[in-house]
A and B are shown apart, each in its own frame.
Chain A
Amino acid sequence: MHPLGEKYIRKGTLPYLWCPGCGNGIVLHATLSALDELNIMDRIALVGGIGCSGWIPTYINADTMHVLHGRTIPFATGLKMSDRDRKVVVFSGDGDCLGIGGNHFIHGARRNIDITVVMIHNQIYGMTGGQVAPTTPYNGKTKTSPYGNNEPPFDACELARVAGASFVARWTTAHPRQLSKTIQEAISHEGFSFIEVLTQCPTQAGRVLYGTANAAKLLDMLKESTISITAAKNKSAEELQGKLLVGKLYHDECKPEFTSCYYRRNNAISSL
């Protein structure tokens, strides 16, 4: 096993529950290398929601919570408020974060509370059998939309930005190096950090939406459908047609952070 796995993985939980070729393992590896680089394993708390991606924290030998469906951000908020020195990282799926927990997500972003949300985006409800999700592309065929999806999907990064998040980034599992670096930067950032990770789901989204269960082909599709924000600067509008921007999309250092504002106000009131 990889040295990072030897160091930080709970051996009794192996093997992973994920299907062969699943992107969650790549996100787990990127997170482990980011945490190792920052050397903050003793003051980190990981929160996982319900869904395949909610299992990511449970494999890591750190303080973890596996919570109710869609309620990752409320639990993380409570944790951060009671223990300010802790760095809180949330792992949530697209259905968990934008569907069931959509309201919590926008309010977490609005408060600009210092938590890092890694949203694993596989475009479908994978664990429950491949139902249509709030991120399924328009016209996409799933088990519950066999003639095509009528609903346009969410742009999660745009939603986080307009709701008030101070760090917004998007990567795919085809960019593991960049993803690890961005997770590192997001954990160090004070404020609500949101990272959308587009992943392949060979079993559900792959077979039903894209007609292939080959993880390598799905990863190639992800890579082809995206363009880095730095490379996009020199491209014309026609060349960017249908391409999704990846990279650090928004970063604001000056926005006030919720917990520090709260404690400052609390101290001011108690000294009256």
Chain B
Amino acid sequence: MVIIDNNYCKGCFLCMHYCPKKIIDKSTNINGKGYAVPYIANPEECSNCKTCELICPELAITVEEGDN
């Protein structure tokens, strides 16, 4: 399960680019800092590979074992 902490996200979208299953997409939401944040578009396809977690420069993404 991918959890994105919008408070820390700076909207670089490295997670979206590096997700092998392409489950992350751009949203229209803006966080408190003024950055557009990503959201999980297809949560059921996530394979818990943790690539987004490792590539996030802000430590804003956590991947937990288990279904979305």
Report A's interface with B, CB cutoff 8 A: 1-5, 9, 14-16, 18-26, 28-30, 32, 176-177, 180, 202, 215-216, 219-220
Q: Which residues of A contact B13 (CB under 8 A)?
A: 215-216
C-alpha spacing A57/B8, complex, angstroms:
19
Given contacts A2-B53, A20-B12, contact A216 B18 (CB under 8 A): yes
Which listed residue, B8, B17, B57, B61, touches A23 by the CB 8 Å rule? B57
Shortest Cβ gap from B32 to chain A (Å): 10
A29→B17 contact, CB < 8 A? no
B58→A15 contact, CB < 8 A? yes
Contact of B60 with A by CB under 8 A: yes
C-alpha spacing A215/B53, complex, angstroms:
16
Q: Which of B59, B61, B62: most chain A Cβ within 10 A? A: B59
Q: Which residues of B contact A30 (CB under 8 A)?
A: 54
Shortest Cβ gap from A21 to chain B (Å): 3
Report B's interface with A, CB cutoff 8 A: 5, 8, 10-14, 16-18, 33, 35, 53-62
Give the 8 A-B residue pairs with the shortest CB-CB distance, closest first: A25-B57, A21-B12, A216-B17, A20-B10, A5-B59, A176-B54, A2-B59, A20-B12
Which listed residue, B16, B53, B59, touches A25 by the CB 8 Å rule? B59
A20→B35 contact, CB < 8 A? yes
C-alpha spacing A142/B4, complex, angstroms:
36
Shortest Cβ gap from A25 to chain B (Å): 3
Which listed residue, A14, A20, A22, A26, touches B54 by the CB 8 Å rule? A26
Given contacts A1-B5, A1-B8, A2-B53, contact A16 B14 (CB under 8 A): no
B57→A14 contact, CB < 8 A? no
Q: Which residues of A contact B8 (CB under 8 A)?
A: 1, 14-15
B62→A16 contact, CB < 8 A? no
C-alpha spacing A144/B39, complex, angstroms:
40
Shortest Cβ gap from A15 to chain B (Å): 6
B5→A25 contact, CB < 8 A? no
With A16-B57, A29-B54, A30-B54 given, name 4 new contacts (CB 8 A).
A1-B59, A26-B56, A216-B17, A216-B18
B10→A176 contact, CB < 8 A? no
Q: List 28 A-B contacts (CB under 8 A).
A: A1-B5, A1-B60, A2-B56, A2-B59, A2-B61, A5-B59, A15-B33, A18-B57, A19-B10, A20-B11, A20-B35, A21-B10, A21-B14, A22-B57, A23-B57, A24-B57, A25-B56, A26-B54, A26-B55, A28-B57, A28-B59, A29-B56, A202-B12, A215-B13, A216-B13, A216-B18, A219-B17, A220-B17
